[in-house]
Amino acid sequence: MIRKAVRDLKSWQLDRDIGQRTIDQMRKELSRNRTLKAPFEGVVANLQAEEGTNMAPGQILLELIKTEEGFQFSFTTDEESASLLQNNEKVTVDVKGEKNWQLEGKIAEIKDVSQGSGGESNGNLGAEGGALNGNGEEGADRRKAVVVFVSGDSLQGGEAASVAVEKKAEQQGLVIRKERLKKDEKGSYVLVVRENKNSLGNIYTVHKAYVKTGDWNEEEIIVLDGLFAKDDIIAETSEPLQEDNRIRLD
């Protein structure tokens, strides 16, 4: 009887020790899993968890942006304009966040745009390797996406960014809007105002200035000859105009 009691006691002690070790192991796992250690220093974005919330295994808690590697954004433009840009070319980037400032960026990539996508020359800064969705109108011309890389200690990600690139044309002339250029059997022309002075006052008439054109892009064209800086181009009219029609200036 005594021997059986001793065996039962030892068995109970063994079960207790096993149970205690199990509890200790569970406490260690709970303590370890209670705190997440980031693999690198960065900025927390898109936090999806709250204190005390039970999260399922594999569920995303947050996104961590590695700011030291910089950010990128992209914009789309027509193929003609994109041909004037080069990879690794430095550009000035305007950033809008809690404050507005400028940074130096670099063109990282120029690539074809898939059919149906479009964009404007602005967007949101995303971590390097991410994507940017822009808003814009789909055009019939082939489009190019220009990816710009930018870095800076003050960037957090998600700021609005834009870039304006100015290029000097190889051809020298006057740059006008393409819609102001017209054509007839004699060639291309622009409607300009001619002023005739007399004793009764000034008379303004319509004149066709035939021009020679050069390079062009989606919106503008260079006039090489036939138009002068002092010429007043007729941009808008209330009715169709013909050569030598009298007009009144508003």
Torsions phi, psi for 218 (to 5 deg): -65, -30
Query: Which residues, at least 6 apart from 78, have a Cβ–Cβ distance to it below 8 Å?
Result: 139, 141, 142, 143, 144, 217, 218
In tens, the pLDDT along 30-41 reads: 777 667 677 767
- d(Cα 246, Cα 206) in Å, to the nearest integer? 6
Q: Are 145 and 87 contained in the same domain?
A: yes
Q: Are 155 and 232 contained in the same domain?
A: no
Provide the domain count of the chain: 2
Q: Are 89 and 140 contained in the same domain?
A: yes
Q: Are 77 and 114 contained in the same domain?
A: yes
Q: Are 146 and 186 contained in the same domain?
A: no
Structure confidence at residue 198 (pLDDT): 80
Identify the domain boundary among 163, 186, 221: 163
Q: Mean pLDDT per segment of 10 residues, for the chain of length 250 residues?
A: 72 83 83 71 72 73 73 86 88 86 90 62 52 38 86 79 78 87 94 86 90 89 91 85 83
Quick check: is 99 in a domain?
A: yes
Q: Do 125 and 69 form a contact (C-beta atoms < 8 A)?
A: no
Q: Which domain holds residue 101?
A: 68-163
Phi-psi group of 158: left, alpha or beta (phi > 0 → left; psi -120 to 50 → alpha; rest → beta): left
Q: Are 100 and 181 contained in the same domain?
A: no
- d(Cα 112, Cα 142) in Å, to the nearest integer? 8
pTM of this structure: 0.45
- Residue with the two structure tokens 């003050």: 154
Identify the domain boundary among 163, 198, 229: 163
Structure confidence at residue 40 (pLDDT): 67
> DSSP assignment of the chain, as one string?
-HHHHHHHHHHHHHHHHHHHHHHHHHHHHHHHHHS---SS--EEES----TT----TT----EEE-GGG-EEEEEEEEHHHHTT--TT-EEEEEEESSSEEEEEEEEEEEEEPPTT----SEEE-EETT----------SS-EEEEEEEE--TT--S--EEEE------SS-SEEEEGGG-EEETTEEEEEEEEEEEETTEEEEEEEEEE-EEEEE-SSEEEEEES--TT--B----SS---TT-EE---
Cβ count within 10 A of residue 159 = 22
Q: Are 191 and 156 contained in the same domain?
A: no
Q: Are 145 and 228 contained in the same domain?
A: no
Q: Are 139 and 184 contained in the same domain?
A: no
Structure confidence at residue 72 (pLDDT): 86
Domain of 202, CATH number, reads: 2.40.420
Structure tokens at 187: 């060639």
Q: Are 143 and 75 contained in the same domain?
A: yes
